[in-house]
Structure 1
Amino acid sequence: MALIQHVSDAYGFPPTSEALEYPNGLLAAGGDLSPERLLAAYRRGIFPWFEAPQPVLWWSPDPRSVLLPANLHVSRSLRKTLRRDEFDLSVDSHFAEVMRQCAASREGQDGTWIDQSMIDAYTQLHTMGYAHSIEVHRDGTLVGGLYGVALGGAFFGESMFSRTADASKVALVALVKLLSGAGFKLIDCQVESEHLNSLGASNLSRLDFESLLAQTVNETLADLRWQLPARCGALI
């Protein structure tokens, strides 16, 4: 592997144009998962992804998978699921548990990199009001959800899980409804997957992604309320 740079103690990162082509987007190594460093990274479209005992690895892939809220695709079968109204919804009620479930899940991105250090770091961001979770319940049991980081008009999706059919898709529909109502412009999905493409995600070049991010990440959204209807049937 080509040499990669080490991050500085001042929460700085190299230019994303210096990210490796292989592995795609690997930009830098080192540093920590402090709130200051994580927020500085997300503002530039950089995210951590590593497995212990590796140092923290920082990524900026090209292309970048993005879901624009208006492009959400709700299939006929998913609409039927929503109309059956069999799931309850909540926001930010079980953040750490959603992360733990994502760590054990194989849906979407591989969640095995979500270790206790990641859970602790993002729970701290959650306490500060930056990280959020969408939770899907059936009969009082958490069966699906997702979590990510919100900055300005951008939401950086980190991972999702599902313990029953369509539960994570319901969580994404709920997220898009919440974000659309608040004026969010962008949901970062990081790396392309068939699962996310089926829901409306598409690829942008790194330059186009960073241009869009620069227009959204510092916005102030006056109508932002992290609230959802109690039942999934209200999403359609």
Structure 2
Amino acid sequence: MTGTEGEPWRDPPPPGPSRFTMPDPAVVAPGAELVAVGADLSPGTLLDAYRAGLFPMPVDPDRRRRGIAWYSPDPRGVLPLGGLHVSRSLRRSLRRYRVTRDESFERVVRACADPSRPGRWITPDFVDAYTTMFELGWGHSVETWHGDDLVGGLYGLRIGRFFAGEAMFSTASDASKVALVSLVEWLRGTGATLLDVQWRTDHLATLGVVEVDRTEYLRSLAEAVGT
């Protein structure tokens, strides 16, 4: 696998196959989001799901009910790799922090999973599953540092020219945005074509995130992952 900016990207060795067949979101009614419930978070299942246009979330983050829900939002939030909005204040913040990649993956995931955060949904099972994906070479993180303190970051999975952004966190001004700028630079420099952020929010819209319908998203995804 290579990941140096300017070099062609090669995926790591594939894991073992999934025991499950993932559903096709193309047959789901337009506008529907939840596609299926069940399966597991094994590496093979996760890769099959992302290649199909799905991503998982726990049925119940508080773990009163176990289970995995698989989503394919319509419309889908994506950040065009040539459309990132970098404000003047964000440009100043870029000089304030140090940024690394894949240096503290599990710390980033656990920071995103902090139970004190509003809307948190990342359970210990998800932390373990994505940490395993990182160990296999499919998971990636970007870390933002102020001195020796980890103050922001994001993580996700990369498959070919596709990156699935999962979550980000920040404990200092613009720290997660700085991580996103670094991610986009890395993806552009290594030939990526699609950055998925799942849903467009007002916050992400200020950075250039747009919505695309499911049909367009699945077409772009197939091209990016080579299916």
TM-score w.r.t. length of structure 1: 0.82
Q: Matched residues in 2 for 1:113 and 1:20: separation? A: 25
Quote the residue 2:108 is aligned against: 98
Quote the residue 1:158 is aligned against: 166
Aligned AA (1:192): R
Aligned residues, how many? 205
Q: Point out 4+ residue stretches in structure 1 off by more than 4 angstroms.
A: none
Quote the residue 1:127 is aligned against: 135
Match of 1:204 among 208, 212, 215: 212
Give secondary structure in 1 for the equivalent of 2:203.
helix
CA deviations on 1:151-189 (whole Å, 9 max, x unpaired) are 010100000000000000000000001111001111001
Aligned AA (1:93): E
Pairing 1:10–2:24 present:
no
* Aligned partners of 1:66 and 1:202 also within 8 Å: yes
* Aligned partners of 2:24 and 2:52 also within 8 Å: no
> What's the offset of the Cα at 1:45?
1.1
Give secondary structure in 1 for the equivalent of 2:53.
coil
Pairing 1:148–2:156 present:
yes
Q: Matched residues in 2 for 1:67 and 1:131: separation? A: 19
> What's the offset of the Cα at 1:115?
1.1
Q: Matched residues in 1 for 2:99 and 2:209: separation? A: 23
Quote the residue 2:50 is aligned against: 42
* Aligned partners of 1:20 and 1:26 also within 8 Å: no
> What's the offset of the Cα at 1:106?
4.1
Q: Matched residues in 2 for 1:20 and 1:119: separation? A: 31
Match of 1:78 among 79, 83, 90: 90
Percentage of pairs with the same residue: 43
TM-score w.r.t. length of structure 2: 0.86
* Aligned partners of 2:162 and 2:224 also within 8 Å: yes
* Aligned partners of 1:11 and 1:40 also within 8 Å: no
Q: Matched residues in 2 for 1:86 and 1:72: separation? A: 19
CA deviations on 1:5-35 (whole Å, 9 max, x unpaired) are xxxx73212221444668x410001111000
Aligned AA (1:87): Y
Quote the residue 2:73 is aligned against: 61
Q: Matched residues in 2 for 1:194 and 1:99: separation? A: 23
**Structure 1 segment 158-197 matched on structure 2, within 5 A:** 158-197=166-205
Q: Matched residues in 2 for 1:17 and 1:217: separation? A: 17
Give secondary structure in 2 for the equivalent of 1:69.
coil
* Aligned partners of 1:61 and 1:190 also within 8 Å: yes
Aligned AA (1:48): P
Gapped regions of structure 1 (runs ≥ 5): 1-8, 220-236
Q: Matched residues in 1 for 2:24 and 2:98: separation? A: 43
Give secondary structure in 2 for the equivalent of 1:209.
helix
